[in-house]
């Protein structure tokens, strides 16, 4: 009887009984050799780390069905390609709508339409009926960049609210609007800045926007609507790109969790098994005329 210890998994005993058949032999007793492969040790933490680094690697280590590895790898590749595609598309669309705004909105129009508002009436409403259009200053503002003597007197950057008292600045080469994210959001989002669009004199109109418990009147122009549509599509592409990154991160986490759970399940199955495995076979003896030298009985538990 021989006892062998298997680290971290189980202990088992192997018994070999050799029963020599009552057949005349012309040589020494035959010998039986049982060769057992060393079982591969599975480390529960290793597949977790592997899958966190590269989804699917832990499944491959656990020798799980190949479709699991393929699924996690597929999601990984698909998420990366999706993120690259939609991020680039969003950036391209953003360049387009920013160029559109640069061509069709300016502070000179904004100040001029505040000083000399359109006189047409739209569905019973005039320009002056909207409080947001009565002032340059309001709930939001733009940033102006000053140069030369104006910068020496007022500073390099000032709020657009100052245009109410310095309307002549719109014709000065020393004054320009800072076209940052704040600027591109405000000119499309708030009625306060609708006067800056090129088509506002003849084509402005108002529309009802339903809120949760009230209705708001929104002033628009065809150019403003076109601009908002372009921004909306670009933002949708950005959202999809963000979802792709989220999917990418969750794919790493889910792959790691699945790998470690599978590893633990296999370990528990090996530890809890009480099944006794037996193997009965004949021992080959080339010297014996019948070729049989005995019987080998192996018991594993």
For residues 146, 152, 158, 162, the Cα torsion angle rounded to the nearest 10 degrees is -90
Residue pLDDT, tens place only, 3-20: 444 433 333 333 333 333
pLDDT of residue 278: 56
pLDDT of residue 11: 34
C-alpha–C-alpha distance, residues 239 and 241, integer Å: 5
pLDDT of residue 241: 96
pLDDT of residue 15: 35
Integer CA distances (angstroms), 272 to 41, 61, 267, 287, in order = 16, 22, 9, 44
C-alpha–C-alpha distance, residues 90 and 75, integer Å: 22
199 contacts 222 by C-beta, under 8 angstroms: yes
Please identify every stretch of the chain with a pLDDT value under 50, giving residue numbers as ranges. 1-38
> Can you say how many angstroms the Cα of residue 98 is from the centroid of all Cα atoms in its chain?
26
For residue 174, count other CB atoms closer than 10 A to its CB: 13
14 contacts 298 by C-beta, under 8 angstroms: yes
Residue pLDDT, tens place only, 163-214: 999 999 999 999 999 999 999 999 999 999 999 999 999 899 998 888 777 7
C-alpha–C-alpha distance, residues 109 and 115, integer Å: 10
Helix ranges, the chain (H): 45-53, 57-61, 66-104, 107-115, 148-154, 181-189, 200-203, 222-272
Q: Which of 35, 34, 33, 31 is nearest to 293 (CA)?
A: 31
């Amino acid at each position: 009887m021989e006892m062998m210890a298997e680290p971290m998994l189980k202990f088992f005993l192997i018994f070999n009984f050799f029963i020599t058949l009552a057949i005349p032999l012309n040589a020494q007793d035959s010998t039986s050799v049982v060769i057992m492969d060393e079982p591969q040790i599975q480390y529960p933490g290793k597949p977790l780390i592997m899958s966190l680094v590269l989804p699917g690697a832990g499944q491959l280590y656990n020798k799980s069905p190949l479709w699991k590895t393929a699924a996690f790898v597929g999601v990984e590749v698909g998420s990366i390609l999706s993120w690259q595609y939609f991020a680039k598309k969003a950036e391209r669309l953003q360049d387009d709508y920013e160029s559109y705004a640069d061509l069709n909105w300016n502070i000179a129009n904004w100040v001029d339409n505040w000083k000399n508002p359109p006189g047409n009436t739209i569905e019973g409403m005039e320009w002056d009926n909207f409080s947001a259009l009565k002032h340059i200053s309001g709930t939001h503002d733009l940033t102006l960049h000053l140069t030369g003597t104006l910068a020496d007197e007022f500073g390099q950057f000032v709020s657009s609210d100052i245009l109410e008292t310095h309307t002549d600045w719109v014709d000065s080469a020393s004054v320009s609007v800072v076209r940052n994210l704040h600027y591109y959001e405000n000119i499309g989002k708030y009625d306060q800045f609708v006067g800056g669009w090129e088509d506002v004199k003849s084509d402005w109109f108002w529309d009802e926007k339903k809120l949760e418990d009230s209705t708001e009147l929104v002033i628009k122009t065809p150019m403003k609507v076109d601009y908002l549509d372009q921004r909306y599509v670009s933002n949708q592409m950005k959202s999809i790109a963000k979802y792709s990154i989220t999917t990418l991160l969750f794919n790493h986490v889910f792959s790691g969790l699945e790998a470690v759970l599978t590893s633990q399940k296999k370990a528990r199955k090996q530890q809890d098994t009480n099944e006794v495995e037996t193997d009965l076979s004949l021992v080959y003896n080339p010297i014996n005329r019948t070729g049989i030298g005995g019987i080998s009985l192996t018991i594993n538990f």
